[in-house]
Chains A and B, each alone.
Chain A
């Protein structure tokens, strides 16, 4: 009797947020999908059904093809860089060095800055005639100067550098927590067995950090697939769209070009891309939770 009343009460309390999420998240996703399959490509709403034509058109648009390639390159480089740098920093900090707290905070701080600020700063730092290039020149390393984001072939990597600066601290913090969770007995056991430092990390510690790598990759992956603000503030579309991403294309085509159906189509594709990454992870983590 009591249990039933408790259940009714909790259902009642949950109801408002269920309704709000239902309308403002799933309802709007549904509306966006509906617009994506309409002919609303001028200022006046035209919700007549067009099927998947917008999707077919979009995949033939040069700008969108470049965007997809950029997203792929950016995501791979960003993930690899963040995980690699984060792990390296965490391992170094884990060696009980002096001033660990200082370094930990220093590496973590960029994450507390918004992407807009980070993007603006890196726009100046990687500007060919200011910032990093000036530093290189005054250090006598003029040969290392680069056109950075003004050269279409490498522009996207300039954005990756900014993103790495901003997010590597996050993976470092996660790995550091993971490393602290590995008991000293395991390390000692490996040492007793004659493992070198390298072997210890390769065969014992990194495999044990596997769940952390996965969570970090998921979090970073969905950030990178949806990235907008950092790129928008730093380079915009870039020369020949070399730093363009679907988010920027969506924003411009919808709110500047009045092509609402096309914008909705891009949004849906971005949603699907993120879902492909997130849903297997959710399934995996709910399964492991059930096991535990």
Chain B
């Protein structure tokens, strides 16, 4: 009795000593640390937060003595964070650097409105024009100047399938939507839901349709949608909508009750055979103990072999950044091989750079990285890269209606109108 008592007392004393010792240098440092760096993102949980921390560690090793303020706002896809960021930017109180999807979200919201500093000199001095693929650099550029640094790349157009169901039925991943319908019929005959969908938050249905659009139009036609070269009222979009309407006969009927990760879970539970989602789904499978090529298989979404729909998180430099020097150092880390190799394996994405060590990544990400260097890179609409946010919300709304009423003509008209209203087409 008294033995344990004494032990407890000693332990307590030790703890106190550690706390006091810890405090003294702590306070000393704080007084000395005048240098600060505030990084704004919506990476608050799981592998994303771990990845961000790993990148902070790389920064701290290179630039000791800088206090990093990790300003995060929770919420998937950053919808809430973006609202907070807008308020801060308009109020003249920007962070030193912030997370932003490359493409329209960066260019239309922040660059054209004059909030961002050009990073062209940094790209030159760091040799990034050769380190990143040209298509990716284009996504973060406006009038020939670069405005942000892509730290990672997710692929949007991936078909995931339950390997066991496919093997049991001797099926192969469908390469086109026509093949998909054949596979889907077989599965339906066996009483398996062919494709899982969870579109409670609307964007999930739009995400599936974006991949169908790419399949129907090809790289050039798809890129033309955002510049007015491809008409929303043309045959290509009509074909895509027809296909989409047909696909909807093969999805789970209660799709409106679920979100994307629940749709991925349906594969694990053997409630559905296939799912089309970005490769953050691979992160979900990994978290559930599912292994690539063992439990689940992957392939480009039907009809999109050779195409790579890019979702990229980037960091930029606001003009009024309070700690510009530290922010520039941060961007150098974010664009460096060491920084990206620290971040991406944890986040479950591939590097924006093409020279990362494949051994650090799993089978799926390795194959994605190979495709990334070979394929045509397309901007994602749903994830903010292809079109202004005003168009993106309308796009989601139009498809949410279409999923139920399947009115192709009305959808085409509405899409064209949205395109004109957002000054993408004439």
Between B256, B390, B393, B404, the greatest number of chain A beta carbons within 10 A of the residue's beta carbon is seen for B256
Q: How far is the CB of B424 from chain A (nearest CB, A)?
A: 12
Which residues from 39 to 86 on chain A have a C-beta closer than 8 Å to any C-beta of chain B? 41-44, 62-63
CB pair A149–B256 under 8 Å, yes or no, is yes
Residues of A within 8 Å of B86, CB to CB, are 43, 255, 258
Known: A42-B390, A258-B109. A150 touches B253 (CB 8 A): yes
Question: Which residues on the A side are within 8 Å of B255 (C-beta)?
Answer: 150, 239
Q: List the B residue with the shortest CB-CB distance to A239.
A: B256
CB of B257 within 8 Å of the partner chain: yes
Q: Is A152 an interface residue (CB 8 A)?
A: yes
* A127 proximal to B (CB < 8 A): yes
Q: Which residue on B lies nearest to A128, using beta carbons?
A: B254
B392 within 8 A of A: yes
Q: Which residues does chain A contribute within 8 Å of B249, judged by CB atoms?
A: none
**Segment of B20-28, B132-140, B394-402 engaged in the interface with chain A:** B394-402
Q: Which of A214-238 contact B (CB under 8 A)?
A: 235-238
**A237 and B202 form a contact (CB under 8 A):** yes
Q: Which residue of A lies closest to B199 (CB)?
A: A239
Bound complex: CA A258 to CA B388 (Å):
9
Q: Are B404 and A152 in contact (CB under 8 A)?
A: yes
Question: Which of A127, A240, A252 contacts B403 (CB under 8 A)?
Answer: A240
Closest chain-A Cβ to B414's Cβ sits at a distance in Å of 8
Contact of B113 among A44, A237, A259 (CB under 8 A): A44
CA A256 – CA B400 in complex, angstroms? 16
The interface residues of chain B, by DSSP majority, are classed as: helix
Cβ-neighbour of B400 out of A44, A129, A240, A255 (below 8 A): A240
- Determine whether B83 belongs to the interface, using a CB cutoff of 8 Å to chain A: yes
- What 0/1 pattern do residues 237 to 255 of A give for CB contact below 8 A with B? 1111110000000001101
| Cβ-based interface call for B130 (8 A) | no
A239 touching B393 by the CB < 8 A rule? no
Give the nearest-CB partner of B401 in chain A.
A240
B200 within 8 A of A: yes
- CA separation between A150 and B393, bound complex, in Å? 21
| Interface SS of A by simple majority | loop
* A257 in contact with B405 given A127-B254, A150-B255, A236-B201 (CB within 8 Å): no
Q: Provided the pairs A42-B390, A43-B113, A237-B202 are in contact, do residues A147 and B253 lie with their beta carbons within 8 angstroms?
A: yes
Q: Does B108 belong to the interface (CB within 8 Å)? A: yes
Chain B window 337-360, contacts with chain A (Cβ cutoff 8 Å), 1 for yes, 0 for no: 000000000000000000000000
State in angstroms the CA–CA spacing of A211 and B393 once bound together. 45
A127 adjacent to B257 (CB under 8 Å): yes
Contact B390 A257 (CB under 8 A): yes
A178 to B75, CA, bound (A): 45
Kindly list chain A residues whose C-beta atoms are within 8 Å of the C-beta of B185: none
Whole-angstrom CA separation of A152 from B253 in the bound complex: 12
A41, A150, A155, A242: which contacts B390 (Cβ < 8 A)?
A41
Whether the Cβ atoms of B404 and A150 lie closer than 8 Å is no
Measured between alpha carbons, how far is A148 from B253 in the docked complex, in Å? 12
> Given that A128-B254, A129-B254 are contacting pairs, would A257 and B401 also be in contact in the complex, using a CB cutoff of 8 Å?
no
Contact residues in B for A41 (Cβ distance below 8 Å) = 390
Bound-state CA distance A258–B421 (Å) is 13
**Does B169 touch A at the CB level, under 8 Å?**
no
Write the nearest CB–CB distance from A102 to chain B, whole angstroms.
34
B323 at interface by CB-CB < 8 Å: no
B3-59 interface with A by 8 A CB criterion: none
Confirm or deny: B93 has a beta carbon within 8 angstroms of a beta carbon on chain A: no
A257 to B393, Cβ gap below 8 A?
yes
Inter-subunit contact A147/B254 (CB<8 Å): yes
Interface pair B388/A42, CB less than 8 Å apart: yes
Tell whether A257 pairs with B256 under 8 Å between CB atoms, given A44-B113, A240-B404: no
Q: Roughly how many angstroms separate A42 CA and B387 CA in the complex, as a whole number?
A: 13
Complex interface: chain A residues within 8 A of B394 (CB): 257
**B202 engages A236 (CB within 8 Å):** yes
A62: chain B residues at CB < 8 Å are 401, 414
Whole-angstrom distance between the Cβ of B265 and the nearest chain A Cβ: 12
- Residues of chain A whose beta carbon lies under 8 Å from any beta carbon of chain B: 41-44, 62-63, 123, 127-129, 147-150, 152, 155, 235-242, 252-253, 255-259
* Complex A-B, nearest 5 residue pairs according to Cβ-Cβ distance, in ascending order: A240-B404, A257-B393, A239-B256, A128-B254, A150-B256
Instruction: Please name 9 pairs of A and B residues whose Cβ atoms are closer than 8 Å in the assembled complex, sorted by A.
Output: A43-B113, A127-B254, A235-B200, A236-B202, A240-B400, A256-B82, A258-B86, A258-B109, A259-B390
Residues of B whose CB lies within 8 Å of any CB of A are 79, 82-83, 86, 108-109, 113, 199-202, 253-257, 388-390, 392-394, 397, 400-401, 403-405, 414
Beyond known contacts A42-B390, A239-B403, A256-B79: 17 more, CB 8 A cutoff: A42-B388, A43-B389, A123-B257, A147-B254, A150-B256, A237-B397, A239-B199, A239-B255, A239-B400, A240-B400, A240-B401, A241-B397, A242-B404, A255-B83, A256-B82, A256-B392, A259-B390
